[in-house]
A and B are shown apart, each in its own frame.
Chain A
Amino acid sequence: MSVVKVLEGSEAVALAVKACRPQVISAYPISPQTHIVEGIARFVADGDLDAEYVRVDSEFSAASVISGASAAGSRAYTASSSQGLLLMSEVLYASCGMRLPFVITGVNRTVSAPISIQVDQQDTMSLRDCGMIQLFVESSQEAYDVHIAAFKIAEDPKILLPVMVCMDGWVLTHSYERITLSEQGDVDRFLPPFQPADFLDVKNPKTWGSIGEEDMVMEFRYSVQQAMQYAKGRITEIFAEWAEISGRNYGGLIESYKTDDAEVILLAMGSMAGTMKDAVDNLRSGGDRVGLVKIRSYRPFPYEEIWDAVKGAKAVAVVDANLSLGSEGAIGMDLKAKLYGAPNAPMVVDVIAGLGGRDVNESRIKKIVEKVKEAQASGYFLREPYWAGLNPTIVP
């Protein structure tokens, strides 16, 4: 019998992780993820989760502990944000190359400097190159469900890559939602124990972490790229499998919301997609043909699915809550690269919004749609991103 509870987002994630029976969890605090690892600590303290809970000395160690545990054949998990995720970056690159599967919750928070604990997606964006699968969620319920799928995705024998489930800090982690929790039996059926083909085993001693010379590094990278390509199909399958069992379906690598006849399509990830759905509905009731593509899998980047959803539109507003300083938003760059040369491709406008907790509310979303309609009508391709909600009077 599934149960419905009003839960803080962090608690929903902790329960999802608990249901997946990780054997090793590492924990280091940083706002706004701390409630997740604290929730898991309470389960362990009460004997409700039989796992090794390691309180580490830094996020570098947090990621390293789960890497070592994974190499030794245990399902492993940690969570971090912002500065902590950046500190882990070296470890994540290495673990991706070494094909060590584990799940990390990347609770989105902006990065220093200036130091701020407010939400944006700069932190997880900084890790998009390392070979880790990055999935984004719109709600705490989706976070619960995607975490369960994440372990199965990571451990798939043809994937074997860490999976980062990205969720907006505070907005999701510290707000309360009605959460439907699945039965343990359902999770167990869906997610069998972790049984890697290779693990640190005295009966079959092998060597991990060798040096690669110039005659093989390209091929190793290529093999990770291939695993990512393969993952596109497999992630879709696994999402569908869990949707079947849980009864909750969010779509595949993307979710298309009212895109069929849309002239302007918003493209975004995370909780702002929820606000955008409301904005789309309200704009449509006023006659605007607007739609939304919500990206669920950011890495691997689902450009084929995005193309299918946007190809009929006149313009796409890519809303980036992140910025590659000196260039533009990451999703904007990804999309423009993939759409370049596509016949009759819509105009793509990159929008920088929501940095450092700046609210991506309906009125700002409406302004974005207006701005993009203007650009599209003028035929003038904006080379610099549009900064939504910027207060130019206080810029130093």
Chain B
Amino acid sequence: MELTIGAVVRGGTSLEYKTGSWRDQRPVLDSEKCKVCGQCESVCPDSAVHVVEETYIIDYDYCKGCGLCAYECPADAITMIREEK
């Protein structure tokens, strides 16, 4: 890897590190139950829930499986499932 003067790096480069590998459980969203309220996107510390055309998807590349989205979802639309290895 190339070193810069003073170790200054471009912002946003953390996207190259996929924290999804940290997971031992994954959230699964039931779009039937989803009320499209945005809570899951709002409470994800890893910005791993995204709005896509009026619904939400989970970015498993980065989701660490903390479970906050499932816990906070007012419609109980997200379930945490053990990650299979």
Contact = CB atoms under 8 A, between A and B. Distances in A.
B10 A198 contact: no
A223 interface: yes
Contacts of A220: 3, 7
Interface string A203-218: 0011111101001100
Nearest to B7: A210
B7 A160 contact: no
A6 to B, nearest CB: 42
B9 to A, nearest CB: 5
Contact of A97 (B1, B6, B10, B13): B6
Contact of A207 (B1, B3, B5, B10): B10
Do most interface residues of chain A lie in helix, strand or loop, or is the interface mixed?
loop
Contacts of A206: 8-11
B8 A208 contact: yes
Contacts of B1: 215-216
A46 interface: no
Interface in A192-230: 198, 205-210, 212, 215-216, 219-220, 223
A75 interface: no
Nearest to B9: A207
Contact of B6 (A198, A205, A219): A198
Contacts of B8: 98, 198, 206-208
A215 B5 CA distance: 16
B6 A160 contact: yes
Interface residues of B, number: 11
Interface residues of A, number: 18
Contacts of B7: 97-98, 208-210, 212, 220
A120 B77 CA distance: 73
Contacts of B3: 216, 219-220, 223
A210 B9 contact: yes
Contacts of A208: 6-8
A311 interface: no
A316 interface: no
B1 to A, nearest CB: 8
A100 interface: yes
A371 B5 CA distance: 48
A220 B11 CA distance: 20
Contacts of A299: none
Interface in B4-33: 5-13
A152 interface: no
Interface string B40-75: 000000000000000000000000000000000000
A155 B7 CA distance: 17
A247 to B, nearest CB: 35
A147 interface: no
CB-CB nearest 8 A-B residue pairs: A99-B6, A205-B11, A98-B6, A198-B8, A207-B9, A210-B7, A206-B8, A99-B5
Interface of B: 1, 3, 5-13
Given A97-B7, A99-B6, A210-B9, 8 more contacts: A99-B5, A160-B5, A198-B8, A205-B12, A206-B8, A207-B11, A212-B7, A223-B5
26 contacts: A98-B6, A98-B7, A98-B8, A99-B5, A99-B6, A100-B6, A160-B5, A160-B6, A198-B5, A198-B6, A205-B11, A205-B12, A206-B9, A206-B10, A207-B8, A207-B10, A207-B13, A208-B7, A212-B7, A215-B1, A216-B1, A216-B3, A219-B3, A220-B3, A220-B7, A223-B3
